[in-house]
Amino acid sequence: MIEWDNDNRILSESSAQKVLDEALSYAGKRGTVKIVISSWWGGGQRWARNAPTMTADQREVTFKVERGIGSSRGQAETNQIDSVSIKGAMEVAERYALSRSENNPLDKETDIAHWDFEGSNVWSDVTYNRLVTENAKSVNDITHKSIEDNLVSAGYIGNTASTALVYNCDDWGRNTTKWGRVTSGSCSVTVRHPKGVGSGWAGQSSYDIARWDVEKVADLAYEKCKLSLNPVRLEPGRYTTILEPQAVATLMSFLVGALNRVPPESGRASNPIYQIFDSGLRRHISKIGVKLVDSRLNVYHDPQDPLVGTHRSSLIRKVNMITQGIFTEGYNSIPHEINELNSNNPAIVRRSYRVDGGETSVDEMIKSTRRGLIVAKLDQAMPVDDASILLTGVTRDGLWLIENGTVTKSIRNFRWIESPLFVFNNIEQIGFTEPVFNQTWFRGPLTINFHDSLKNVVVPTMKVRDFQFSSMIDAI
């Protein structure tokens, strides 16, 4: 049983290793074994209507095992790491795997457990040691300002730390054990007019909250709220649009997410962005080498990049996904990389990336725009059509009209329908990069295949042609 205290908020490597050693002593001799022992701590403060609404300290631990015997698998998970719980989980997973081993021919993939990694940790003592009173002080400053300005603020400040010990063993007994730990923090602020006639939002995230500037985040939210007051209606249609980094990230994340190979054996439809069916060869061929987007765009993941590195970045090498607009590398499943492509170094990260920036400031973008819009945030994005990555969503917390090189009006929100393939082939200007906000509240079982990493994204502002706004919405 864990005895938690202020110093023991997450598992140490030695504690996790002890749990692993014990778990392995219960594992049968046959089949594959995957075990993830993870722990998590989160401190968070939420506020609304200019007052704190909840301050919380939460802890979690997870033991997750997946056994594969022949063609069958079984999985068990518990958040209790005493001997009997671990033994129970190991036995249950094994029994499930054994009980269907003859009847289940679907799972042909077998993870292999030895490959080389470059190491990187994304850990900040400042984040881990930030006191709840410091968060409270920040909230106090923000809410004070909103009261003085007769505005209403709501927001969230949170810092978390998590660890994972990951063990993989294949059918031949080859195994690896990897340990990683990460901190993360995020702050987001919404400032609204009390009558609901304007709303501004800003957010910031980093593994290291020393890189934060809460005051700056709040100021930006205030500024956007004030600039967004009393929005006017504008006809929907296609507009030259300056997409702030948060909006760029929304679109780019869907494109990056589409760069993965869907194994035919999974039974799911193939991914038309990654691969295309060649009727002559009668098989899917990849689109690697095909130009997807504007040649100024480079999109890549580097685990050594402290603004991008992911939770399990020690398991991931640098991946150049798009180079000068050309699709250069996608993601495969680990078994496919190992067993079919003979790779010893799979590219498996999906959601953390950096896009190289340009040198155009937002002011310059505005000055060079005769008529267009600035979008702060694209909210509720969801796919309409997978083949073209056609998405829809709404604008939120900041939409302004530019006329003859000047921002002239706040505009009521739109529903938008657009594909990142279209948007990123219609880029006029590229601005400076900045890390965007991501929801860093990440808890509980980490996936064994490491795909569920944090979304650390660094992207530039972009000015694009003909962005499609399909209809007006009433929400402010």
Partner 1 sequence: MSMLKSRRSFVLGSAATAISTGLLSTAVANAKTRKSTIYEGIQDPLLKEIIQTALNSATDAGASYADARLSHREAFQVAGSFPTVNEHMAFGVRVLVDGYWGFASSPTWSTVEAVRLGRAAVTQAKANVIVQPRNWDIAPMVSSDSGHWTMPVKDDPFKMAYEEIWDFQSAFSAFVSSLKFHESSYSIIEYVRTSKAFGSSSGQYTTQILYKTGGPIGMSLLSDQGSRIGGGFYYATAAGLGFEHLRDQPLRDRFTVFYEDLLASLSLPINHLEVGRYDTLCPGDVVASLTSKTVGRPTEVDTAFGFEANAGGVGFIDPIDMLGSFKLGSNLLNVTGDRSANGSVGKVRWDDEGVAPVKVDLIRDGLVVNMQCNREGAAMLKDHFSTTGQVCQSHGCAYTPSATDVPMVHNMDLSVRPEKGGNSLDSLRSSITKGIELQSPYIDVDFQCITGFTMGTMFEIKNGKRIGRYLDGSVIFKTPELWNNLIGLGGEESVMRYGIDSRKGQPVQSSTSSVFAVPAVFKELTVMRTR
- Residue 443 binding partner 1, by CB under 8 A: yes
Sequence-separated (6 or more) residues with CB below 8 Å from residue 329:
259, 288, 319, 320, 321, 347
Measured between alpha carbons, how far is 280 from 309 in angstroms, rounded to an integer?
41
The number of residues that bind partner 1 (CB under 8 A) is 95
Binding mask 198-217 for partner 1 (x = CB under 8 A): -x-x----------------
- Residue 97 binding partner 1, by CB under 8 A: yes
Q: Which of residues 394-413 bind partner 1 (CB under 8 A)?
A: 394, 396, 413
Binding mask 31-70 for partner 1 (x = CB under 8 A): -----------x-xxx-xx-xxxxxxxxxxx---------
Closer residue to partner 1 in complex, CB, 100/284:
100
Measured between alpha carbons, how far is 429 from 122 in angstroms, rounded to an integer?
32
Smallest gap, in angstroms, from Cβ of residue 373 to partner 1? 18
Measured between alpha carbons, how far is 430 from 256 in angstroms, rounded to an integer?
18
C-alpha separations of 142 from 187, 360, 397 in Å? 12, 31, 18
Q: Which of residues 409-438 bind partner 1 (CB under 8 A)?
A: 413, 415, 417
Contact residue for partner 1 among 80, 286, 343, 425 (CB under 8 A): 80
Query: Would you state the structure tokens that stand for residue 19, as one six-digit string?
Result: 């749990």
Measured between alpha carbons, how far is 11 from 6 in angstroms, rounded to an integer?
12
Q: Which of residues 243-302 bind partner 1 (CB under 8 A)?
A: 267-268
- Closest to 465 measured CA to CA, from 410, 407, 422, 413: 422
Of the listed pieces 90-98, 173-181, 367-375, 423-431, which binds partner 1 according to CB under 8 A? 90-98
Closer residue to partner 1 in complex, CB, 282/370:
282
- Residue 307 binding partner 1, by CB under 8 A: no
**Alpha helices, DSSP H only, in 26-117?**
83-99
Smallest gap, in angstroms, from Cβ of residue 391 to partner 1? 11
- Residue 449 binding partner 1, by CB under 8 A: no
Do the strands 371-375 and 399-403 form a parallel or antiparallel pair, or are they unpaired?
Answer: antiparallel
- Residue 441 binding partner 1, by CB under 8 A: yes
What are residue 90's phi and psi, to 5 degrees?
A: -60, -45
- Residue 3 binding partner 1, by CB under 8 A: yes
- Residue 158 binding partner 1, by CB under 8 A: yes
- Residue 470 binding partner 1, by CB under 8 A: yes
Closer residue to partner 1 in complex, CB, 30/443:
443
Smallest gap, in angstroms, from Cβ of residue 233 to partner 1? 13
Query: 3-class SS at 469?
Result: strand
Measured between alpha carbons, how far is 256 from 298 in angstroms, rounded to an integer?
12
**Contact criterion met (CB below 8 Å) for 442 and 270:** no
Name the amino acid, one letter, at 254.
Answer: F
